[in-house]
């Protein structure tokens, strides 16, 4: 421990394959950007494929950048130990291109799970998980091998670093109908949530449902969606089904055609929830028990839009019906949401990072006393 104690700053190591234009990269961007370099050295251990402009920016922010893609776990652990990393943070869990084996080898005195994986790692070698009171309330602690450490507000920091389209006026005012939508990935579109969406469309005359995901590039998957709704009496013309758009700007601009966003369940949106709200589109979500069914709950609490959180499927449907029936309110809310986000803890990046660094300090101070 003496070699760690003698370091003038706390060395934080982030391990991820997503230091790029990716949901994890977007949420980590303000954190790495605003870390206090007087108190912390930031090390990025990157397994990033398809590096892009954001990768270059991450590299410029790092005290040390190390490409670990072609290295053995033993070599990576030796490098981490040589760097005297006090706190090593995993941003991936068991998702694609992870390096969870490194954490099982315990190369750092303190190891933390954060952001990229919505559940426990099950590893006794990972000491903490960073979350918040809404995403992981106290009754969920028994489901984690890690000790839960909670941010005072939301566990996320959303600070779009990219150019965003202007928020357009409410499309329903010109169209004469309500356009619901979800831009979540295909695996989140299960029969249960599709059934709920079908009931909403059946209740609201002439309403539309706007869906976009890469999977709709496959005609068979598109047909499956059309067939599902047609069996429930919903005509194909009421569905707008699109696949991937290469431009993030164009992707965001599509929200200008949506009046109300419908969150998926039991696996909530996270990036999609933030993007919809940023573009002035309120998100109705259904609260569940595990973290995956609580991410949007945390986001909506952070911006003060708790009235969009439903406790049951029936309440979810009722909220969609009620919100769609008040066009003046929807229009007003649309032009207030971006400012609401800007003034909320979700968007206060520098304050968020100060609070996160306080957590890191407390972790290290506790470790020193052992």
Comparing 169-173, 212-216, 241-245, which segment has the lowest mean pLDDT? 241-245
pLDDT in tens, 240-284: 999 988 788 999 999 999 999 999 999 999 999 999 999 999 999
Which DSSP helix (H) or strand (E) runs through 282?
none
Phi, psi of 90 (to 5 degrees): -90, 125
pLDDT at 7: 75
Q: Please check whether the two domains, 2-159+347-368 and 171-342, share a CATH topology.
A: yes
* 342 contacts: CB under 8 Å, gap ≥ 6: none
* 137 contacts: CB under 8 Å, gap ≥ 6: none
Task: Check: CB of residue 88 under 8 Å from CB of residue 107.
Answer: yes
pLDDT at 241: 97
pLDDT at 8: 82
Nearest to 251 by CA among 334, 351, 160, 133: 160
Q: Is the pLDDT of residue 1 over 70?
A: no
Nearest to 155 by CA among 112, 114, 103, 111: 114
Domain boundaries, the chain: 2-159+347-368, 171-342
pLDDT at 5: 65
Residue-wise over 8-42: b if at least 16 C-beta within 10 A, else e?
Answer: eebbbbbbbbbbbbbbbbbbbbbbbbbbeeeebbb
pTM for the structure as a whole: 0.95
Query: What order of strands is seen across the sheet that includes strand 147-151?
Result: 64-67, 40-46, 10-16, 87-90, 110-113, 128-132, 147-151
Residue in the block written with tokens 């809404």: 134
- Cα gap 69→54, rounded to integer Å: 18
Q: 66 pairs with which residues across the strands?
A: 45
Phi, psi of 13 (to 5 degrees): -115, 125
User: Can you tell me the mean pLDDT for 324-347?
Assistant: 97
Instruction: Return the CATH fold of 2-159+347-368.
Output: Rossmann fold (3.40.50)
Residue 185 class from Cβ within 10 Å (0-12 exposed, 13-18 middle, 19+ buried)? middle
Query: What percent of the chain lies above the pLDDT cut of 70?
Result: 98
Under the banding of pLDDT at 50, 70 and 90, the label for residue 320 is: very high
Comparing 49-63, 149-163, 275-289, which segment has the lowest mean pLDDT? 149-163
Q: Is the pLDDT of residue 151 over 90?
A: yes
Which DSSP helix (H) or strand (E) runs through 6?
none
How many other β-carbons are positioned within 10 Å of the β-carbon of residue 311?
10
Alpha helices in 283-348 (DSSP H): 295-303, 313-324, 327-334, 337-342
Under the banding of pLDDT at 50, 70 and 90, the label for residue 369 is: confident
CATH class for the domain made up of 171-342: alpha beta
Which DSSP helix (H) or strand (E) runs through 26?
helix 23-34
Task: Check: CB of residue 126 under 8 Å from CB of residue 90.
Answer: yes
pLDDT at 160: 83
- Cα gap 214→13, rounded to integer Å: 33
User: Can you tell me the mean pLDDT for 158-166?
Assistant: 84
Task: Check: CB of residue 282 under 8 Å from CB of residue 308.
Answer: yes
Q: Is the pLDDT of residue 124 over 90?
A: yes
Q: Is the pLDDT of residue 126 over 90?
A: yes
């Amino acid at each position: 421990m003496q070699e760690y104690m003698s370091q003038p700053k706390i060395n934080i190591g982030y391990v991820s394959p997503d230091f790029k234009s990716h949901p994890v990269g977007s949420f980590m961007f303000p954190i790495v950007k605003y870390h206090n370099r007087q108190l912390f050295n930031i090390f990025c251990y990157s397994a990033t494929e398809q590096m892009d402009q954001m990768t270059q920016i991450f590299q410029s922010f790092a005290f040390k950048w190390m490409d670990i893609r072609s290295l053995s776990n033993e070599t990576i652990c030796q490098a981490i130990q040589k760097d005297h990393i006090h706190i090593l943070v995993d941003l991936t869990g068991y998702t694609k291109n992870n390096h969870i084996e490194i954490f099982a080898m315990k190369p750092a005195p303190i190891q933390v799970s954060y952001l990229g994986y919505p559940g426990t790692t099950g590893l006794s070698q990972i000491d903490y998980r960073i979350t918040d009171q809404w995403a992981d309330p106290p009754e969920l602690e028994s489901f984690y091998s890690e000790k839960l450490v909670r941010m005072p507000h939301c566990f996320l920091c959303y600070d779009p670093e990219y150019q965003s389209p202007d928020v357009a006026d409410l499309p329903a005012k010109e169209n004469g109908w309500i356009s619901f939508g979800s831009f979540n990935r295909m695996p989140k579109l299960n029969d249960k949530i599709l059934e709920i969406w079908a009931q909403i469309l059946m209740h609201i005359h002439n309403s539309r449902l706007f869906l976009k995901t890469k999977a709709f590039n496959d005609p068979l998957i598109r047909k499956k969606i059309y067939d599902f709704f047609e069996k429930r009496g919903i005509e194909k013309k009421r569905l707008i089904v699109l696949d991937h758009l290469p431009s993030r700007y164009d992707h965001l601009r599509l929200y200008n055609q949506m009046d109300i966003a419908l969150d998926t369940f039991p696996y909530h949106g996270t990036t999609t929830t933030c993007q919809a709200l940023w573009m002035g589109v309120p998100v109705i979500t259904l609260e569940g028990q595990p973290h995956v069914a609580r991410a949007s709950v945390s986001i909506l609490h952070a911006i003060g839009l708790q009235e969009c959180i439903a406790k049951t499927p029936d309440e979810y449907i009722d909220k969609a019906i009620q919100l769609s029936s008040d066009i003046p309110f929807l229009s007003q809310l649309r032009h207030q949401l971006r400012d609401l986000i800007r003034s909320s803890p979700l968007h206060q990046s520098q304050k968020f990072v100060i609070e996160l660094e306080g957590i890191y300090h407390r972790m290290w101070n506790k470790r020193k006393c052992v």
